[in-house]
Amino acid sequence: MPELPEVETVRRGLEPAMAGRLIVEARVNRPDLRWPLPPRMAERLKGQRVLRLRRRSKYILADLSGGESLLIHLGMSGRMLVSGARVCDFVHDHPAPARHDHVVLEMEGGARVTFNDARRFGAMDLVPTEAADAHPLLASLGPEPLGNAFDGAYLAARLAGRRTPVKAALLDQRIVAGLGNIYVCEVLFRAGLAPVRLAGSLGEARAAGLVPIIREVLSEAIEAGGSSLRDYRQADGELGYFQHTFRVYGREGQPCVTPGCRGLVGRIVQSGRSSFHCPECQR
């Protein structure tokens, strides 16, 4: 599932085609994705101007001129693809309609934004903009890891006394929003922390020290356009490239990249997810 860097990359890719522009036409080709789509969705979208595009955790929100926001979740295989818009010196022509094109937005200026989702684990909803933070998918989320509310004092306080593995704690969306399996593995490697170590054992200084590492990893991933492992693509259809710089994720059995370390990257399973780590470097 796309994590924060992938969703932020998609948001940035949609912005030139959508922000400030009118939705000239909307086509909704099925009644549901993971959950039922909102009633009269096409009618409610048509004629609305997109005031801004923002991201909350792994969700994109398009604030509309009529007072509603279009909430978008990519799910496992969802893609938001832009065609007919100029990107640098190139224009991506509109492709032929595809089987899994579930929602299509014709934008002012000629761009087309298509939500394609083969597995239909994605979701869309229309919510009042002023009440968007109270939406069931957003209401319990913790602070954004790149925002001011997420600092060392906050994280140290949230991890203090916890008898859950530090990896599980960082994946808890109520503690910090948007982190997923890939980037938590990379963060813990850079921090020298074993994924099974109890969160409450870190101490205040070490817990607080995770904050700049989390921001560093996420910022590097966003700069690289995210990580393309299976279905993820940027809004122009291009791949992300951060996977080429993974230090542990997916590198089971390969040498640790830490200079002087003779360890091999290992893999364990925690709560059904693979945790990649160096047993020598991470304690």
From the list 11, 16, 23, the residue with the least C-alpha distance to 56 is: 11
Mean pLDDT of successive 10-residue stretches along the chain, which has 283 residues: 88 94 98 97 98 97 98 92 68 77 96 94 97 97 97 98 97 96 96 98 97 96 70 51 79 96 97 96 95
Give me the residue label for tokens 């304690």: 283
Name the maximum alpha-carbon separation found in the chain. Answer: 62
Give the C-alpha separation, 248 to 234, whole Å.
Answer: 23
Q: Which domains does the chain have, with CATH numbers?
A: 4-134 (3.20.190.10), 152-277 (1.10.8.50)
Rounded to 5°, the CA angle 189-193-195 comes to 85
The confidence score (pLDDT) of residue 242 equals: 62
3-class SS at 220? helix
**pLDDT tens by residue, 191-206:** 999 999 999 999 999 9
Contact indicator for 104, 24 with CB cutoff of 8 Å = no
Catalytic residues: 2-3, 58, 273
Ordered DSSP codes for 42-102: HHHHTT-BEEEEEEETTEEEEEETTSEEEEEE-TTT-EEEEESSEETTEE-PPPPP-TTEE
Give the C-alpha separation, 178 to 4, whole Å.
Answer: 5
Rounded to 5°, the CA angle 19-145-58 comes to 50
Tell whether pTM > 0.85. yes
Checking phi first, is residue 261 left (phi over 0); if not, alpha (psi -120 to 50) or beta? beta
